[in-house]
Amino acid sequence: MKKGGKLIVFSAPSGSGKTTIVQYLLQQEDLNLDFSVSATSRDPRGDEVHGEDYYFISLKDFKQHIKNGDFLEWEEVYRDNFYGTLKSEVERIWAQGKNVIFDIDVVGGLRIKKKYPEQTLAVFVKPPSIDELKIRLKKRKTESDERINMRIAKASVELATAPQFDYIIENNNLKKALQESHDLVADFLQKKTPSEASE
Ligand code: 5GP
Protein backbone atom coordinates (compact mmCIF):
# COMPACT_ATOMS: atom_id res chain seq x y z
CA MET A 1 0.00 0.00 0.00
CA LYS A 2 1.23 3.48 -0.84
CA LYS A 3 2.18 5.88 1.93
CA GLY A 4 -0.51 8.49 2.44
CA GLY A 5 -2.05 10.65 5.14
CA LYS A 6 -2.38 9.87 8.82
CA LEU A 7 -4.25 7.12 10.58
CA ILE A 8 -6.27 7.72 13.75
CA VAL A 9 -7.28 4.58 15.60
CA PHE A 10 -9.91 4.56 18.35
CA SER A 11 -10.23 1.20 20.05
CA ALA A 12 -12.16 0.15 23.13
CA PRO A 13 -14.42 -2.55 24.51
CA SER A 14 -17.83 -2.27 22.87
CA GLY A 15 -20.16 -0.02 24.88
CA SER A 16 -17.42 2.29 26.13
CA GLY A 17 -18.57 5.22 23.99
CA LYS A 18 -15.88 5.18 21.31
CA THR A 19 -18.39 5.34 18.45
CA THR A 20 -19.86 8.55 19.90
CA ILE A 21 -16.37 10.04 20.10
CA VAL A 22 -15.47 8.99 16.57
CA GLN A 23 -18.73 10.43 15.18
CA TYR A 24 -18.02 13.71 16.97
CA LEU A 25 -14.49 13.92 15.56
CA LEU A 26 -15.79 13.29 12.03
CA GLN A 27 -17.96 16.40 12.33
CA GLN A 28 -14.97 18.60 13.20
CA GLU A 29 -13.96 20.08 9.85
CA ASP A 30 -10.57 21.27 11.07
CA LEU A 31 -9.48 17.64 11.47
CA ASN A 32 -10.19 16.67 7.83
CA LEU A 33 -11.09 13.09 8.73
CA ASP A 34 -13.00 10.39 6.92
CA PHE A 35 -14.28 7.18 8.44
CA SER A 36 -12.81 3.85 7.43
CA VAL A 37 -15.85 1.69 6.76
CA SER A 38 -14.98 -1.86 7.78
CA ALA A 39 -16.23 -5.01 6.14
CA THR A 40 -18.04 -7.49 8.36
CA SER A 41 -19.75 -10.85 8.04
CA ARG A 42 -22.26 -10.08 10.81
CA ASP A 43 -25.85 -9.03 10.06
CA PRO A 44 -26.86 -5.34 10.19
CA ARG A 45 -28.21 -4.15 13.57
CA GLY A 46 -31.08 -1.66 13.97
CA ASP A 47 -30.83 1.07 11.34
CA GLU A 48 -27.27 0.36 10.22
CA VAL A 49 -26.63 1.18 6.56
CA HIS A 50 -24.47 -0.80 4.12
CA GLY A 51 -21.52 1.33 2.99
CA GLU A 52 -21.89 3.78 5.91
CA ASP A 53 -21.63 1.73 9.10
CA TYR A 54 -20.11 -1.34 7.50
CA TYR A 55 -19.84 -3.16 4.23
CA PHE A 56 -22.05 -6.12 5.14
CA ILE A 57 -20.77 -9.09 3.17
CA SER A 58 -21.29 -12.85 3.39
CA LEU A 59 -18.90 -15.09 5.31
CA LYS A 60 -17.95 -16.68 1.98
CA ASP A 61 -17.05 -13.33 0.40
CA PHE A 62 -15.15 -12.29 3.52
CA LYS A 63 -13.02 -15.43 3.35
CA GLN A 64 -12.38 -14.82 -0.34
CA HIS A 65 -11.07 -11.30 0.43
CA ILE A 66 -8.73 -12.83 3.04
CA LYS A 67 -7.41 -15.25 0.40
CA ASN A 68 -6.92 -12.41 -2.08
CA GLY A 69 -4.89 -10.39 0.44
CA ASP A 70 -7.36 -7.49 0.22
CA PHE A 71 -7.29 -6.65 3.94
CA LEU A 72 -4.96 -4.30 5.78
CA GLU A 73 -6.01 -6.22 8.90
CA TRP A 74 -8.87 -8.57 9.75
CA GLU A 75 -10.06 -10.35 12.85
CA GLU A 76 -12.62 -12.93 13.89
CA VAL A 77 -13.81 -10.64 16.68
CA TYR A 78 -16.56 -13.00 17.81
CA ARG A 79 -17.07 -16.56 16.58
CA ASP A 80 -18.10 -16.47 12.89
CA ASN A 81 -18.28 -12.66 13.08
CA PHE A 82 -15.38 -11.41 10.98
CA TYR A 83 -14.37 -7.76 10.74
CA GLY A 84 -11.66 -6.19 8.64
CA THR A 85 -10.26 -3.08 7.00
CA LEU A 86 -9.98 -3.27 3.23
CA LYS A 87 -6.82 -1.71 1.79
CA SER A 88 -9.00 -0.12 -0.89
CA GLU A 89 -10.93 1.77 1.81
CA VAL A 90 -7.82 3.48 3.21
CA GLU A 91 -6.52 4.24 -0.28
CA ARG A 92 -9.90 5.79 -1.21
CA ILE A 93 -9.69 8.20 1.74
CA TRP A 94 -6.01 9.09 1.22
CA ALA A 95 -6.75 9.78 -2.45
CA GLN A 96 -9.13 12.52 -1.26
CA GLY A 97 -6.32 14.10 0.75
CA LYS A 98 -7.98 13.16 4.04
CA ASN A 99 -6.84 11.41 7.19
CA VAL A 100 -8.42 8.09 8.15
CA ILE A 101 -10.20 7.42 11.42
CA PHE A 102 -10.90 3.85 12.55
CA ASP A 103 -13.41 2.51 15.06
CA ILE A 104 -12.03 -0.98 15.49
CA ASP A 105 -11.26 -3.60 18.10
CA VAL A 106 -8.04 -3.52 20.12
CA VAL A 107 -6.26 -6.27 18.21
CA GLY A 108 -6.93 -4.60 14.85
CA GLY A 109 -6.03 -1.19 16.25
CA LEU A 110 -2.68 -2.36 17.55
CA ARG A 111 -2.00 -4.16 14.28
CA ILE A 112 -2.41 -0.92 12.32
CA LYS A 113 -0.16 0.91 14.80
CA LYS A 114 2.51 -1.76 14.29
CA LYS A 115 2.28 -1.56 10.49
CA TYR A 116 2.38 2.26 10.37
CA PRO A 117 4.00 3.33 13.66
CA GLU A 118 4.83 6.92 12.66
CA GLN A 119 1.63 7.71 10.81
CA THR A 120 -0.73 6.25 13.41
CA LEU A 121 -2.19 7.69 16.60
CA ALA A 122 -3.68 4.82 18.62
CA VAL A 123 -6.16 5.82 21.32
CA PHE A 124 -7.82 3.53 23.84
CA VAL A 125 -11.18 4.62 25.26
CA LYS A 126 -11.64 3.31 28.76
CA PRO A 127 -15.14 2.80 30.18
CA PRO A 128 -15.66 3.80 33.85
CA SER A 129 -16.08 0.13 34.93
CA ILE A 130 -17.22 -3.29 33.75
CA ASP A 131 -20.52 -2.79 35.64
CA GLU A 132 -21.15 0.48 33.85
CA LEU A 133 -20.36 -1.24 30.55
CA LYS A 134 -23.00 -3.89 31.30
CA ILE A 135 -25.59 -1.17 31.98
CA ARG A 136 -24.78 0.64 28.72
CA LEU A 137 -24.96 -2.52 26.62
CA LYS A 138 -28.32 -3.49 28.19
CA LYS A 139 -29.70 0.01 27.57
CA ARG A 140 -28.78 -0.30 23.88
CA LYS A 141 -31.32 -3.17 23.67
CA THR A 142 -29.95 -4.33 20.34
CA GLU A 143 -28.65 -7.71 21.41
CA SER A 144 -29.52 -10.86 23.35
CA ASP A 145 -28.23 -11.45 26.90
CA GLU A 146 -25.94 -14.14 25.52
CA ARG A 147 -24.31 -11.69 23.09
CA ILE A 148 -24.01 -9.06 25.82
CA ASN A 149 -22.26 -11.54 28.13
CA MET A 150 -19.90 -12.44 25.31
CA ARG A 151 -18.99 -8.77 24.87
CA ILE A 152 -18.48 -8.31 28.63
CA ALA A 153 -16.16 -11.31 28.83
CA LYS A 154 -14.12 -9.88 25.95
CA ALA A 155 -14.03 -6.43 27.53
CA SER A 156 -11.98 -7.63 30.50
CA VAL A 157 -9.32 -9.02 28.16
CA GLU A 158 -9.37 -5.83 26.07
CA LEU A 159 -8.90 -3.57 29.10
CA ALA A 160 -5.58 -5.27 29.75
CA THR A 161 -4.22 -4.04 26.39
CA ALA A 162 -4.79 -0.35 27.18
CA PRO A 163 -1.13 0.37 28.12
CA GLN A 164 0.02 -0.61 24.61
CA PHE A 165 -1.82 2.39 23.10
CA ASP A 166 -0.36 5.88 22.62
CA TYR A 167 -3.08 7.42 24.81
CA ILE A 168 -5.84 6.30 27.13
CA ILE A 169 -8.97 8.44 27.35
CA GLU A 170 -11.18 7.79 30.37
CA ASN A 171 -14.79 8.18 29.35
CA ASN A 172 -16.34 9.14 32.70
CA ASN A 173 -17.60 12.48 31.44
CA LEU A 174 -18.53 12.53 27.76
CA LYS A 175 -18.10 16.26 27.23
CA LYS A 176 -14.57 16.13 28.64
CA ALA A 177 -13.74 13.00 26.65
CA LEU A 178 -14.86 14.69 23.39
CA GLN A 179 -12.74 17.77 24.05
CA GLU A 180 -9.72 15.71 25.04
CA SER A 181 -10.07 13.54 21.92
CA HIS A 182 -10.32 16.57 19.65
CA ASP A 183 -7.21 18.20 21.11
CA LEU A 184 -5.24 14.98 20.96
CA VAL A 185 -6.05 14.36 17.30
CA ALA A 186 -5.52 18.01 16.28
CA ASP A 187 -2.12 18.00 17.96
CA PHE A 188 -1.07 14.74 16.27
CA LEU A 189 -2.20 15.93 12.82
CA GLN A 190 -0.18 19.11 13.14
CA LYS A 191 3.04 17.36 14.02
CA LYS A 192 5.30 16.12 11.26
CA THR A 193 6.20 12.43 11.40
CA PRO A 194 9.96 11.82 11.93
CA SER A 195 10.41 10.91 8.23
CA GLU A 196 8.51 14.02 7.06
CA ALA A 197 10.68 16.14 9.32
CA SER A 198 13.87 14.78 7.74
CA GLU A 199 12.69 15.36 4.15
P1 5GP B 1 -19.87 -4.24 16.49
O2 5GP B 1 -20.44 -5.61 16.18
O3 5GP B 1 -20.29 -3.76 17.85
O4 5GP B 1 -20.17 -3.24 15.42
O5 5GP B 1 -18.29 -4.37 16.52
C6 5GP B 1 -17.67 -5.36 17.27
C7 5GP B 1 -16.20 -5.05 17.41
O8 5GP B 1 -15.53 -5.17 16.15
C9 5GP B 1 -15.95 -3.63 17.88
O10 5GP B 1 -14.94 -3.66 18.87
C11 5GP B 1 -15.52 -2.96 16.62
O12 5GP B 1 -14.71 -1.84 16.91
C13 5GP B 1 -14.71 -4.06 15.96
N14 5GP B 1 -14.42 -3.79 14.55
C15 5GP B 1 -15.15 -3.07 13.68
N16 5GP B 1 -14.53 -3.00 12.50
C17 5GP B 1 -13.36 -3.66 12.61
C18 5GP B 1 -12.26 -3.92 11.71
O19 5GP B 1 -12.23 -3.49 10.57
N20 5GP B 1 -11.24 -4.63 12.20
C21 5GP B 1 -11.22 -5.11 13.47
N22 5GP B 1 -10.14 -5.79 13.85
N23 5GP B 1 -12.22 -4.88 14.34
C24 5GP B 1 -13.29 -4.18 13.92
Give one word for 90, left, alpha or beta, with left for phi > 0 and alpha for psi -120 to 50: alpha
190 CA to middle of ligand 1, Å? Answer: 28
Per the prediction, the chain carries an average pLDDT of 91
Whether 12 maps to a domain, the answer reads yes
Q: Is 83 in the pocket of ligand 1 (CB under 6 A)?
A: yes
Say whether 143 sits in a helix, a strand or coil.
coil
The answer to whether the beta carbons of residues 74 and 85 sit under 8 Å apart is yes
197 CA to middle of ligand 1, Å? Answer: 33
Q: Is 101 exposed, middle or buried (0-12, 13-18, 19+ CB in 10 A)?
A: buried
Those residues with Cβ within 8 angstroms of residue 165's Cβ, 6 or more apart along the chain or in another chain: 11, 109, 110, 113, 122, 123, 124
Total domains present in the chain = 1
Whether 1 maps to a domain, the answer reads no
Question: Looking at residue 173, which CATH number applies to its domain?
Answer: 3.40.50.300
Whether 197 maps to a domain, the answer reads no
Whether 141 maps to a domain, the answer reads yes
Q: Which residue segment(s) compose the domain that 31 sits in? A: 7-188
Q: Is 171 in the pocket of ligand 1 (CB under 6 A)?
A: no
pLDDT tens digits for 29-62? 999 999 999 999 999 999 999 999 999 999 999 9
DSSP H helix total and E strand total for the chain: 8, 9
105 CA to middle of ligand 1, Å? Answer: 5
Q: How confident is the model at residue 3 (pLDDT cuts 50, 70, 90)?
A: low
Whether 178 maps to a domain, the answer reads yes
pLDDT tens digits for 59-94? 999 999 999 999 999 999 888 899 999 999 999 999
Please give the pLDDT value at position 192: 81
Whether 193 maps to a domain, the answer reads no
pLDDT tens digits for 124-172? 999 888 888 888 878 877 778 888 888 888 888 999 999 999 999 998 8
Higher pLDDT, 112 or 196: 112
